[in-house]
A and B are shown apart, each in its own frame.
Chain A
Amino acid sequence: MQNRGSRFVPLACVIAGVVAGASVSLLLSHTGGGASVPRAHAATPHARAPRDATQERAHLAGERRRALAAHAAEPVDASWAPAAARTIARDLRAIPPAALRAPFRVAGVDCRTTRCVATLEWPSYDAARESFRAVIQQRSVQNRCSTFMLLDEPSDTTSAYESELLFDCHRD
């Protein structure tokens, strides 16, 4: 009888231990004790404060400068560049007129190995500002690229305006 009772002691110790450990953990989480971070801030890698307007403009200008430099540094791949330039020019000309506040002209497309720069001419800065979205969104199956366009405000917003549309493409 005494032997049977002593067999249950280890089991009782295990159960008591688990209960005690879990209780301590729950107590800590409810009282804010311990080293745990509140859930609301769990996403801290992404929860930084947004940049102010000046920082943001400088960041975007830097992004464009780096992309243009990367484009300029690429050699021209004759097996890809001419066809890619034709595809991009064709796609840009295929944007439905309803999607644009004002028409634009594709002045040129310069493709290298994986990157292209399209130069677009608009009747005015305002026309570019009101229609750039249709331009950056335009795609075709042959045009597997990401796009970037930043419109710097000129001193005269009513005269003809030129902008660069940057492409960073995937090649199979």
Chain B
Amino acid sequence: MNYRRHLALFALSAAAGLVCAAAPAVHAYWVKQHASFCSAQWSVNSWTLYNGGFENSDPVNQMGLLCPVADDSQHPKSAVAAINVHVRDGNATSLMWAEACVTFRTTPGGSCGDADWTTDNSFVGYDTLTPPPDVWADHPDDYGYIFVLVPVAAEGRGSPYLTSAVLGYELQD
């Protein structure tokens, strides 16, 4: 009787050990990239790539930044569930916005998702923009990027910061 009980205990414990050891470890995937990965879509008179990010120091022209999105078979952009774009808005009279986009790879054209904006025109400071990534799931074969509109340099017009900048961005599965 005791022998049977001990055998059952052994079998149950072995099963528990098997299940626990075989359970896949849950690791949320994320990737962070510095803004130096980005490039200015059009020429502005003055931009600076500094330690804190990619800033627009032009007091006249807005800057459009294109930030590339890594896309491979293990972590395709179509699996991205959240985008965080870290920005510093130094302009107290205009907004910054970010959106997920694709350029079609076989024919001219493209598509962009809805954008996310800084809180309001008067907002000045550090913020995280979270545009929806849906367009990447809708177009898994095309080239993905994040577009960020960076306002003109404030030059002390009511702002403690002289410029606005993109610091970097992170993607989460």
Real complex partners, A and B? yes
**Interface set of A (CB-CB < 8 Å, partner B):** 6, 9-10, 13-26, 28-29, 34, 36, 40, 42-43, 45-47, 50-51, 53, 56-57, 60, 96, 98-99, 128-129, 132-134, 136-137, 139, 141, 144-153, 170
Contacts of B141 in A (CB 8 A): 50-51, 56
Q: A17-B17, A18-B17, A99-B64 are in contact. Are A60 and B113 (CB under 8 A)?
A: no
- Cβ of B49 < 8 Å from any Cβ of A? no
Taking a contact as CB atoms under 8 Å apart, the answer to whether A137 and B73 are in contact is no
Other-chain contact of B110, A10, A14, A16, A133 (Cβ < 8 Å) = A133
| Most A CB within 10 A of own CB, among B16, B18, B108, B113 | B108
Interchain Cβ contacts under 8 Å between A and B, 5 examples: A14-B10, A145-B114, A146-B113, A150-B104, A151-B107
Q: Report B1-23 CB contacts with A as 1/0, cut-off 8 Å.
A: 01001110111111111111110
Stretch in contact with the other chain, from B85-93, B95-103, B162-170: B95-103
Question: Within the assembled complex, what's the spacing in Å between the Cα atoms of A57 and B109?
Answer: 11
CB closest chain-A residue, reference B13:
A17
Contacts of A137 in B (CB 8 A): 64, 99, 101, 112, 147, 149
Chain A interface main SS type: helix
Question: Within the assembled complex, what's the spacing in Å between the Cα atoms of A51 and B110?
Answer: 16
- Cβ of B83 < 8 Å from any Cβ of A? no
Contacts of B106 in A (CB 8 A): 53, 56-57, 60
